[in-house]
Structure formats: structure tokens, C-alpha cells
Structure 1
Amino acid sequence: MDTVWQWLSEIPDPEIPVLSLTDLGVIRDVSWQDETLVVTVTPTYSGCPATAVINLDIETKLLECGVTKVRLEQQLSPPWTTDWLTQEGRAKLRAYGIAPPVDGTRSDSSAAGRLARLTGQGSFQVACPRCGSENTEKVSQFGSTPCKAAYRCRSCLEPFDYFKCH
């Protein structure tokens, strides 16, 4: 199984190619059922347009590696969360210029938690991925993709994306 996980770790996320699918945490399980390799995938959200590309990339990679019988299973519960990002994935985001999610800031499912998430309110500080300063400000709740917010560093004056907690 380690070999299969290694192959899957070589597949980049279609929206943030610096991350692999395993860095992102969307591959939940890999198992053999008779002669079929079953890969369980949890999309980052149920309507994610990249899901079809991710599934095709998984099938293509495994076929290239000689696995001819593959079944992909989609698992929606529990829903994907940024808590599943690996530490290596968080470091890759930072090196790429995207601030990783701030630990402990994932919104709860209460009405107040949803409202805080939707309005971008919160008391946490996002560190600049370039200079490390926490003297930053949110420019927009939405960045280059819906899962990111646009920020600016007041110290180095550089703009950057923040990978929002989900």
C-alpha cells in the first residue's frame, strides 16, 4: 500500500499545483477488494468543479503505474476540512506564497460560526507567507479561488492569498 500512496502523492491538485492530493488530504483511503484498487476520495466541497479532474488524474496515474482495475468512491461524510492538510502541505503553501489556514480558526456549524465565516469576521491574525509579519490586512473575502481570501502585508507591502479554513 505504501507504493500506491507514493504514486498518489505525485498527483498535483488542479487548482493549487504545489500541493499533491495527499497533501490536501482528499484521498481518505486506499484498499484492495479482490483485484480492484479502491480509492476513497473526499472532495474539498460537494460542488467542487475540480472533482472530475481529480478523479481523472487518479485513474490516469494508476493506469500509468500498471493498475488496470480501479474504482473511485466518493465519501462526503465527514466533510473535508482544512484540518486534513498535512504539515508538509502547509509548508508548501507558505513557500509558494499562500498563507496556510490558521490553526484553530475553522468555523463551527452554529449560526454565529457560519455568520462569522461568511462575513470574514474573526480575531485571528494571518502571517505573511513572504516575510512572516502578522501585520496584515484582509483586502477581500475572496481571492483567486473561492477557498482563498486576498490579503496584503503592511510590513513588506506584498499582496498574498490566504487559504481559508473550512
Structure 2
Amino acid sequence: MSEVLERAHSVAASVRDPELPMLTLADLGILRDVQVDEGGRVDVTITPTYSGCPAMATMRDDLVHALNTAGFADVSVRVALAPAWTTDWISPRGRAALAEAGISPPSPAHNRGGPVPLTLGPIRRDIACPRCGSADVELTSEFGSTACKALYRCHACLEPFDHMKEI
């Protein structure tokens, strides 16, 4: 990797997610690729956590601003929808940062190898409270502070917490 490409990648990788500011786009697995051509144009590829993610425009603007500030005048950001983002792309550092911020990190994503069975019952997740570590938790709402999170309450410490849903 050339020095210019390394620098561009480092800058792009340091941009924080607007909804989960404890994570960089790289930690979240949204940053897919960074390329620099012979003329110095930087092309960044990002993948949204889901197709309707309202933060994509902010991520694009933040990437362009960070790279422009670092001296890269010509920057484009491309959105790639395939392969679809999965919570499995969150880095170990990202998972630790989520837990440290009081958000339960996702378990491994469900098997994507075949048909997805339709279930109408509550989703079973193997999670623990990010504050005290207890597994004695209950789902209070499938809809948390953002679309990618569910709200839980711990029976041991009685604290509510977000859980990042597995995708």
C-alpha cells in the first residue's frame, strides 16, 4: 500500500459514526474500501447498516470533510449495497467500545445460507447486561433509540440498556 493510500485510508477509518460516536466507520464495518488514483482522487466505498439508514448523507459529508481537511482535494464516496452489511463486520474493538458505552454488542448474525424462516414470536437473543454482566435481562421494546437497536432491562442491576440487533 502506498504512503498516500495509507494516509487516505487512515483518515477515512478515523471518521466516527454519527449515531454511534463511540465507533469509527471502520470499527462498525461500514468503511469497505479506499482507493487513490494516479491523479490523487480518493474514492471511498461505504455500505449502510440497512438500506434506509438516515445517517448515510452525514457519513458521506464527514468523510469528504475529513479527507479534504487532510489535504485530499478530490474525494468521492460511493455506496455499495452488496454484499449487504452484517453485524459480523463490527471489529472486536468496536464491540468493546459498544459495551463500554452501555450498549450490548450483537451476537453472531444468523445463518444467511438459505431461506429465512418466518417467526412471529419474540426474537431470542443470547445477551448480557453491558453494565453488570448479568444474563437475567428482558426485552422491553424491539424499537430502541435507533432502528438498529432494541431496548432491554437488566433484572440484576435494574438498568435499561440498548442492544445492537444482529443483522
Output the TM-score relative to the length of structure 1: 0.90
1:127-149 CA-partner distances (Å, limit 9, x unpaired): 10001111111111111111000
Q: Which amino acid aligns with 2:154?
A: C
Q: 1:119 to 1:81 in 2, by over 3 A?
A: farther
Unmatched runs of 5 consecutive residues or more in structure 1: none
1:149·1:162 contact (CA, 8 Å) conserved in 2? Answer: yes
1:125·1:136 contact (CA, 8 Å) conserved in 2? Answer: no
1:96-150 CA-partner distances (Å, limit 9, x unpaired): 00000012x43646241xx34x75422x321100011111111111111110000
Q: Which amino acid aligns with 1:163?
A: M
1:42-101 CA-partner distances (Å, limit 9, x unpaired): 111121111000000000000000001112111110011101100000000000000000
Match of 1:85 among 84, 90, 102: 90
Q: Which amino acid aligns with 1:83?
A: D
Matches within 5 A, 1:33-52: 33-35=37-39, 36-52=41-57
1:99·1:128 contact (CA, 8 Å) conserved in 2? Answer: yes
Partner of 2:142: 141
Q: 1:85 to 1:98 in 2, by over 3 A?
A: same
Partner of 2:61: 56
Unmatched runs of 5 consecutive residues or more in structure 2: none
Q: Which amino acid aligns with 2:103?
A: I
% identical aligned pairs: 44
Partner of 1:65: 70
Q: 1:145 to 1:120 in 2, by over 3 A?
A: farther
Q: 1:13 to 1:119 in 2, by over 3 A?
A: farther
Aligned residues: 161
Q: Which amino acid aligns with 2:146?
A: T
CA distance in structure 2 between the aligned counterparts of 1:143 and 1:132, rounded to whole angstroms: 20
CA distance in structure 2 between the aligned counterparts of 1:39 and 1:9, rounded to whole angstroms: 10
- Give the secondary structure class of the aligned counterpart of 1:91: helix
1:2-58 CA-partner distances (Å, limit 9, x unpaired): 322321232111111111111111110111123211111111112111100000000
Q: Any runs of at least 4 consecutive aligned residues in structure 1 with deviations exceeding 3 A, and if so which?
A: none
CA distance in structure 2 between the aligned counterparts of 1:111 and 1:80, rounded to whole angstroms: 17
2:150·2:164 contact (CA, 8 Å) conserved in 1? Answer: yes
CA distance in structure 1 between the aligned counterparts of 2:94 and 2:13, rounded to whole angstroms: 11
1:45·1:80 contact (CA, 8 Å) conserved in 2? Answer: yes
> Cα RMSD (Å) of the superposition?
1.6
